Amino acid sequence: MPAQVVLGAQWGDEGKGKLVDQLAADADWVVRFQGGNNAGHTIVLGEQVLKLHQLPSGLTNPDCQCVLGSGMVVDPWVLAEELETWQESSGEAPLGKRLWISERAHVNLPFHRLYDGADEKIGTTGRGIGPTYRDKIERVGIRFCDLDSKRGDQTWLDESAARMSTQLAARGVEGTITSLELKESLDWVADNFGHAVAPTGLMLDLALRQGETVLLEGAQGCLLDIEHGTYPFVTSSVTSRANASHGAGIHPGHIEEVFGVVKAYTTRVGNGPFPSELFDDAGAHMGSVGHEFGTTTGRPRRCGWLDLVVLRHSNRLNGFTDISLTKLDVLGGLDELEIVVGYELDGVLISEMPSNMDDLARVTCRTETLSGFPAIPLSEWLELARKANADGAGFAALPTGAREYVEKVEAWLGIRIHSVGVGPDREATVYRA
């Protein structure tokens, strides 16, 4: 069976977790392939709200195997808290039974969190993700498969603790890391997670050759990609399709379906240029009705109109076969809706994103205006979605203004819209007829 990929097409927070949760119902494996606990997925199961940071969204399917891939940087302490919460909620302890950690994934240590917490420029989550990836690139990091050898190597422990302490001091962070503290951390990780560390790339390759279904789950979004995002206001990993298979340990030829998740408007958390950002009542409406606060940090998200320039950039990098449009319900109640169709830079109309952030900060948006549609209670959206899917009505069941908005977005992008989200519940999704 081919592999499927779910990716964020904007600056993250598009609602990927909900789509992965839906697709995972038919998947044998779900894999997180990059990032760490700087990501957050919210899944709503009736009255139950799950906030996952490292655990793959496929955990909600009891028949699904889940993998933290080699492209991830894993914080074992946060993972332990998530697993405890999951066990309290579900009664299940999946670690080492159907939850596996790639032997090649890097360990996010307390040092990395201390170092990252001093950031004041980029607006990171402060969870140690960037410093862990930095150590990976500098070839001084520690992978899960290295735990046993490193914790028994006193020379390595002494040198690593000294390096970490020097870097903290240079960052202006009080305190030091001792070799004993470092060893105790590694001992704890090995003792608690060693039984779940596995050659997951080999496991996934075998699963695919046996005809099983593998779903690759991205974190953050395309515009936060370290290489093709709004650098330097980005995350520390490659968030795009090119890394999906690589960060899972399989080859890209397995991938045939790529779902780009697109919020019906645009949001971002943290610093950096955001051309379509709104500071008026419409932006306040999106933030309030959409409950736009970061899953991981709780920070308010900046809100703006849907930006087709961003999405064209994202599609060029990822080659989406389908779009999942989310949170359309949030736009209900606005008299008029705008969609950004291009930028103007120094009097020149452009249709692609500038790579230089000073230029991106200076663009003005060219927009097309559409009629709005009335606000509808979430309970009515949910009932509309259930009936539309049961009857096979598809997008024709949407209110007139909402349907026209979907049709315009699909026509402008030239990509098939697979589904439209109209509420947080997993059933509040209208599928294409």
pTM of the model: 0.92
- Together in a domain, 159 and 80: no
- Together in a domain, 217 and 181: no
What is the count of structural domains for the chain? Answer: 2
- Together in a domain, 207 and 271: yes
| C-alpha span between 153 and 146 (Å, rounded) | 11
> Most distant CA pair in the chain: distance in Å?
69
3-state secondary structure 320-332: CCEEEEECHHHHC
Domain extent for 173: 106-193
Check which CATH number belongs to the domain holding 174 and give it.
Answer: 1.10.300.10
Q: Which of 165, 193, 221 is the last residue of a domain?
A: 193
- Together in a domain, 286 and 184: no
> 388-392, long-range: CB within 8 Å, 24+ apart, which pairs?
388/430, 388/431, 389/429, 389/430, 389/431, 392/433
- Together in a domain, 124 and 142: yes
- Together in a domain, 242 and 278: yes
- Together in a domain, 98 and 125: no
Check which CATH number belongs to the domain holding 334 and give it.
Answer: 3.40.440.10
Q: Which of 150, 169, 193 is the last residue of a domain?
A: 193
**pLDDT tens for the 433 residues of the chain, in order:** 689 999 999 999 999 988 988 899 999 999 999 999 887 767 666 667 777 889 988 888 899 999 999 999 999 999 999 999 899 888 999 999 999 999 999 999 999 999 987 766 655 667 899 999 999 999 999 999 999 999 999 999 999 999 999 999 998 888 899 999 999 999 999 999 999 999 999 999 999 999 999 999 999 999 999 999 999 999 999 999 999 999 999 999 999 999 999 999 999 988 899 999 999 999 999 999 999 987 666 789 999 999 999 999 999 999 999 999 999 999 999 999 999 999 999 999 999 999 999 999 999 999 999 999 999 999 999 999 999 999 999 999 999 999 999 999 999 999 999 999 999 988 999 999 9
- Together in a domain, 73 and 29: yes
| C-alpha span between 396 and 432 (Å, rounded) | 9
Positions annotated as catalytic residues are 13, 41
Using CA atoms, how far residue 129 sits from 87, 90, 185, 225, 422, in Å, is 26, 28, 17, 14, 32
Q: Which of 193, 214, 232 is the last residue of a domain?
A: 193
- Together in a domain, 111 and 97: no
- Together in a domain, 206 and 343: yes
Amino acid at 247: G
